[in-house]
């Protein structure tokens, strides 16, 4: 099994497959692939979508994917203290496990806890990120209740383009990356490597003395992409991403032995996050385009403790196959027919009753593009080895209101399959056991969008309401044990606003969200979801000098389900600059958290008191990017 990520791409290399390639669309800012699983203009996508291109990444100079995603309306991220720490993604108030994360089309979530380790993905390996907000299970199946985030690794372009980037910053942070990309009209490639290291910060405050050290983080990454067009009708390619390293962290709760005695720890996690995918794409007839994708992904984590011999391993291995067929029936009518299959295999030091699970699905989506209105209607059937069958569907209607404004009304369903921890966690005396009889979580999402561009301002406004039922929670099983059950219901509703325009020569963009995410049974706000968020970016070029700034404001929230532990709101200011010293050399400088704001996104308890995980204070980074001409 562990060698299949090498074998799958190799099987396709002899075929090495699109007349209208998705790879070409990745270079275009006004296109999106993830919304409808086909390349389409961004303003025609029925889902609310945000796209970050490579040019955006270089302009914004983010230190992590977290820095990028917080700029998306409706998206919140919570870290447990600094770079490389556990990260939770909340799209429109949905939980971390209720949004699907893809890398080059491959699911990268852990089968054990259901989440994806976004904190381990290096921005240096990324060509493009697409964030789709709203349920998309009718196209992607499980996990897409809140939305879908798809990350595309770097692509090549015509010519030969070497690149070297080095930067240094606060907390003994050093980042190095290099790459070589190129190609011609038929063949393109990209090979990239990076190494990021930081001494980190002390992620917790009052706790054990062993937790007072700085928690270091190291990440080395390699990505490779190759595509070849055999004819006007046939193209094929392969993509590989491998990221591995070590992340130290604090455990302020301590370690319990069998007699419930508490001991301090100095834990760390050795991680590996990788994916491999390959495709063959062919224009079989004038109206029929067919694309076959095979892939493999791995999410491996081994956690150890410097003060004890405690070891835990959670490794997920996933194989997948996708077959997409696009039929352009007439100028106005098109049909997408597809089939998906994937199988999860879990290797762990925890003794689960089951260690494998497969899922197979078929879906269809019809589109009508008319002068007065357009429609989208889709249906998907999933069959899962553990929970049986699920049917989900979506529908949308788009009505043009003039030449540059559109109104979109949509309905979509979503579901999430329980993770292995929720299903099969054994009764190991730690006070928690799984439940193999769990049902999937379900959602119904209603949305109204208004988009347009007037007077040089591009804007969008969306109002949504997502009803989620069968939420997986815990209840008392016996005096000493809790068990997972389908218990709660949630209501996620809000308003999103995004604006982009030029103001006095500055390129300005704003993203705001008003969220009401509540447990419908108790009326309490869901934990760690802020009611209001605002993000502002401004950039301007003065000849060879580029200047920019970012302001992020987050309102207060609650850390716990009972709404007794309040997390204070905060505002963060960052500035950045770049200087194109020559055609080949660019210098960059940035300061994050310029005002040295002391803030926390999550709390922990110690000796009966609640404390906030520490986040990075003021930090500065300086570096250069060298792109010699060949």
Q: Are 490 and 471 in contact (CB under 8 A)?
A: yes
CA atoms within 13 A on the CB side of 504: 1
pLDDT digits (tens, 9 = 90+) for 504-553: 999 999 999 999 999 998 999 999 999 999 999 999 999 999 999 999 99
Q: Could you tell me which residues come within 8 angstroms of residue 388 by beta carbon, excluding any fewer than 6 positions away? A: none
Check: CB of residue 140 under 8 Å from CB of residue 95.
Answer: no
* Range with lowest mean pLDDT among 244-253, 411-420, 486-495, 602-611: 602-611
Using the Cα atoms of residue 548, residue 122, residue 252 and residue 567 in order, give the sign of their dihedral: positive
Fold type of domain 4-159+191-501: Maltoporin; Chain A (2.40.170)
Reported as a pLDDT band with limits 50, 70 and 90, residue 4 is: very low
* Residue 194 bridge partners (DSSP): 177, 221
Q: Indicate whether 612 pLDDT > 70.
A: yes
Residue 14 confidence (pLDDT) above 50? no
Query: Where is 438: in which H helix or E strand?
Result: none
Phi, psi of 38 (to 5 degrees): -145, 155
pLDDT exceeds cutoff 90 at 30: no
Which residues, at least 6 apart from 13, have a Cβ–Cβ distance to it below 8 Å? 236, 238, 278
Compute CA distances 454 → 32, 85, 423, 503, 508, whole Å.
22, 42, 51, 14, 15
Run of H or E including 51: strand 48-53
- pLDDT surpasses 50 at 458: yes
Residue 309, classified by CB atoms within 10 Å of its CB into exposed (0-12), middle (13-18) or buried (19+), is: exposed
What's the chain's Rg over C-alpha atoms?
24
Q: How much is the average pLDDT of 432-449?
A: 95
pLDDT the model gives residue 26: 72
Other C-beta atoms closer than 10 Å to the C-beta of 259 total: 5
How much is the pLDDT for 476?
A: 67
**Averaged pLDDT for residues 592-607:** 92
Q: How many residues does the chain have?
A: 630
Q: For position 253, what pLDDT does the model report?
A: 80
**DSSP of 469-529, one letter per residue?**
EEEEEEEEEETTEEEEEEEEEEEEEEEEEEEEEEETTEEEEEEEEEEEEEETTT-PBPTT-
Q: What is the pLDDT of residues 181-232, one digit of tens each?
A: 999 999 999 999 999 999 999 998 888 777 888 999 999 999 999 999 999 9
Is a pLDDT exceeding 60 seen at residue 168?
Answer: yes
pLDDT bin (cut points 50, 70, 90) of residue 428 is: confident
381 by DSSP, 3-state: which?
strand
pLDDT in tens, 73-112: 999 999 998 899 999 999 999 999 999 999 999 999 999 9
Would you list the DSSP string of 188-225? EEEEEEEEEEEEEE---SSS-GGG-S-EEEEEEEEEEE
- The dihedrals phi and psi of 171, each to the nearest 5 degrees, come to 60, 35
pLDDT in tens, 401-412: 988 899 999 999
Copy the structure tokens of residue 189.
Answer: 């490639």
**Predicted TM-score of the model (pTM):** 0.93
Is residue 500's pLDDT more than 70? yes
3 pLDDT above the threshold of 60: no
pLDDT of residue 22: 64
Domain boundaries, the chain: 4-159+191-501
């Amino acid at each position: 099994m562990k060698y299949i990520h090498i074998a799958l791409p190799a099987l396709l290399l002899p075929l090495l497959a699109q007349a209208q390639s998705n790879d070409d669309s990745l270079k275009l800012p006004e296109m999106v692939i993830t919304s409808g699983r086909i390349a389409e203009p961004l303003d025609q996508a029925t889902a609310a979508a945000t796209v970050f291109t490579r040019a955006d990444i270089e302009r914004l100079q983010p230190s992590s994917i977290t820095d990028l995603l917080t700029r998306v309306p409706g998206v919140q991220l919570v870290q447990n203290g600094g770079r490389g720490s556990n990260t939770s993604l909340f799209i429109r108030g949905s939980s971390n496990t209720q949004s699907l994360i893809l890398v080059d089309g491959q699911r990268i979530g852990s089968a054990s806890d259901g989440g994806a380790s976004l904190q381990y993905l290096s921005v240096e390996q990324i060509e493009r990120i697409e964030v789709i907000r709203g349920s998309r299970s009718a196209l992607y199946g499980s996990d897409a209740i809140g939305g879908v985030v798809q990350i595309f690794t770097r692509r090549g372009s015509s010519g030969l383009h070497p690149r070297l980037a080095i930067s240094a910053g606060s907390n003994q942070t050093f980042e190095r990356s290099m790459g070589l990309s190129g190609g011609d009209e038929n063949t393109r490639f990209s090979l990239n490597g990076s190494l990021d290291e930081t001494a980190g910060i002390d992620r917790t405050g009052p706790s054990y003395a062993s937790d007072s050290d700085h928690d270091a983080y190291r990440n080395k990454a390699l990505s490779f992409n190759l595509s070849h067009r055999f004819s006007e009708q046939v193209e094929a390619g392969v993509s590989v991403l491998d990221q591995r390293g070590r992340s130290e962290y604090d455990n302020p709760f301590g370690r319990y032995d069998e007699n419930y005695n508490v001991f301090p720890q100095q834990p760390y996690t050795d991680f590996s996050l990788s994916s491999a995918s390959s495709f063959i794409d062919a224009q079989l007839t004038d109206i029929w385009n067919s694309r076959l994708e095979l892939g493999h992904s791995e999410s491996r984590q081994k956690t150890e403790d410097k003060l004890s011999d405690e070891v835990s391993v959670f490794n997920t291995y996933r194989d997948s196959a996708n077959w997409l067929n696009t039929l352009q029936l007439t100028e106005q009518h098109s049909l997408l027919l597809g089939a998906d299959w994937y199988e999860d295999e879990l290797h762990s030091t925890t003794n689960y009753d089951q260690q494998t699970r497969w899922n197979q699905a078929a879906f269809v989506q019809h589109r009508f593009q008319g002068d007065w209105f357009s429609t989208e209607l889709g249906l998907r059937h999933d069959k899962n080895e553990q929970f049986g069958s699920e049917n989900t569907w979506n529908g949308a209607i788009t009505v043009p209101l003039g030449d540059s404004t559109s109104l979109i009304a949509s309905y979509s369903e979503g579901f999430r399959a329980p993770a292995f921890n929720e299903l099969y966690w054994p009764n190991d005396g730690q006070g928690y056991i799984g439940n193999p009889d769990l049902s999937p979580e379900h959602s119904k999402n209603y949305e109204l969008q208004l988009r347009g561009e007037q007077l040089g301002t591009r804007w969008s406004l969306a109002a949504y309401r997502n009803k989620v039922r069968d939420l997986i929670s815990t209840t008392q099983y016996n005096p000493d044990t809790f068990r997972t059950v389908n218990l709660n219901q949630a209501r996620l509703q809000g308003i999103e606003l995004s604006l982009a325009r030029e103001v006095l020569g500055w390129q300005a963009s704003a993203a705001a969200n008003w969220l009401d995410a509540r447990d419908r049974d108790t009326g309490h706000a869901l934990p760690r979801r802020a009611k209001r968020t605002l993000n502002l970016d401004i950039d301007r070029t003065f000849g060879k000098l580029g200047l920019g700034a970012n302001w992020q404001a987050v309102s207060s929230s609650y850390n716990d389900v009972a709404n007794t532990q309040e997390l204070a709101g905060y505002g963060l200011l960052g500035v950045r600059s770049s200087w194109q010293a020559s055609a080949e050399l660019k210098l960059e400088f940035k300061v994050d958290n310029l005002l040295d704001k002391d803030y926390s996104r999550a709390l922990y308890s110690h000796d009966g008191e609640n404390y906030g995980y520490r986040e990075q204070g003021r930090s500065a980074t300086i570096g250069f990017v060298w792109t010699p001409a060949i």
